[in-house]
Structure 1
Amino acid sequence: MIHRGVILASVAVVALMGSGAVDAGARLDVPQDATPAPATVVDLLRQTPARPATPAPVESAPAGTPAPAAPVAVTPPPAVTVARVEDKAAPVVEPKPEPEPVVVSETLPKDDEPLVPARRQRRPVAVIQAIDKVTAETMRFEVEVGGQPVRFNNTLIFKVRACETSAPDELTDDAIAYVEVSLQPRGTLPGTDPRQIFRGWMFASSPAVNGLQHPVFDAWVVSCKA
């Protein structure tokens, strides 16, 4: 009997514990009701009734001077004279004299006087240089202006009509000669005229401009001499 009572008591305790656990789990899922938060110090101060303010003592106005029975004459203050300080005259700055323009005396030609270029100097002898491109024979020789013709390599005949040097007012120092070159091999039949292959001005400074250009011979002027 005792053992049976103990067993029943144990079963009852276990049943109560199980029902409590189920009840606690079910309560966790149900929303709780909101409860007011505990009052803070600020709320307590607000709830405390304010003490009535003590009225400030009222001061009595000071006794004023009684108004005069008769009007009092007021004397105006003396007029103040303000002395005006005249501005000092500004110093007069005299302008500096401008320098006089420097006049450079130049001898300029008059409008009615045309500029006359200097004349070239004529020379009586021309110096010619010729080359045979087949035999590579080259020679520098003199030809008298208007004088006897000169033969080169038994084939070319040179005649000079004029030979001049540059004037002092020209930019380039040059020698210019008017040359006539004819082709007549030595041993040609009598009465056969030479065949002219060049005629014109030759320039010593630019031999390639107007020199003798032949398949076999080249020639150009070198200088003019007295």
Structure 2
Amino acid sequence: MKRVALAFVLAATPALGQDQVTTAPGGILRWLDKMTGETADIELSSGQSAVSGRLTIQLDECRYPTANPASDAFGHLTIREEGAKTPVFSGWMVASSPALSALEHPRYDVWVLRCVTPDQPELDLEPQAPEEDETTAPQEG
């Protein structure tokens, strides 16, 4: 039922006109290991893949509404598990409704957060050094 609803939504998009949806150069995904609680945000260009845990996650394409880039993004993902011959997921995920078409895996969860658009800054994936607080800085005596 969920796949039928997703197919309807995606099939209706081209009927609205090709200028209604823009293809982004990349997207930002979130990965979760349900066993350890570890999460990571992953920024991928279209066609690029990344390894997280035992999964290889590939972003095939990311699209967003042209009139409102900050609104609902949807991405096509191909997700493979180490040792498996066929993908464990291949299809479109909608950022606002990740359960509509979800990766069904006992250990991992992956979902689309947003597309990378010209007006949104890139995701800073580098760890931040803690800022020194005057109350914790050593005092001269």
Shorter-chain TM-score: what band? 0.5 to 0.7
Q: 1:165 aligns with which of 64, 72, 75?
A: 64
Distance in 2 (alpha carbons) for counterparts of 1:156 and 1:203: 20
Q: 1:142 aligns with which of 43, 51, 55?
A: 43
Distance in 2 (alpha carbons) for counterparts of 1:203 and 1:181: 15
- Which runs of 5 or more residues in structure 1 are unaligned? 1-114, 186-192
Shift of 1:223: 0.4
TM-score (norm 2): 0.64
Higher share of residues assigned strand: 2
User: Is residue 181 of structure 1 aligned with residue 79 of structure 2?
Assistant: yes
**2:135 corresponding residue in structure 1:** none
Q: Give the root-mean-square deviation of aligned CA atoms.
A: 2.3
Distance in 2 (alpha carbons) for counterparts of 1:116 and 1:142: 29
User: What are the equivalent positions in structure 2 for 1:80-159 lying under 5 Å apart?
Assistant: 117=17, 118-147=19-48, 149-153=49-53, 155-159=54-58
Corresponding residue pairs, total: 101
Distance in 2 (alpha carbons) for counterparts of 1:167 and 1:123: 10
**1:225 corresponding residue in structure 2:** 116
Segments of 4+ in structure 1 off by > 4 A? none
- The residue matched to 1:162 in structure 2 has which SS? strand
- Which runs of 5 or more residues in structure 2 are unaligned? 1-14, 118-141
Change (3 A) 1:116 1:178: closer
- The residue matched to 1:196 in structure 2 has which SS? coil
Distance in 1 (alpha carbons) for counterparts of 2:25 and 2:85: 25
Amino acid at match of 2:78: E
**2:132 corresponding residue in structure 1:** none
Change (3 A) 1:143 1:116: closer
Whether the 8 Å CA contact 1:184–1:195 is kept in 2: the answer is: no
Q: 1:200 aligns with which of 82, 86, 91?
A: 91
Residue identity over aligned pairs, in percent, reads 28
Amino acid at match of 2:52: F
Distance in 2 (alpha carbons) for counterparts of 1:174 and 1:129: 15
Higher relative contact order (Cα pairs below 8 Å, separated by 6+ residues): 2
TM-score (norm 1): 0.41
Indicate the structure (1 or 2) with the bigger Cα radius of gyration.
1
Shift of 1:119: 2.9
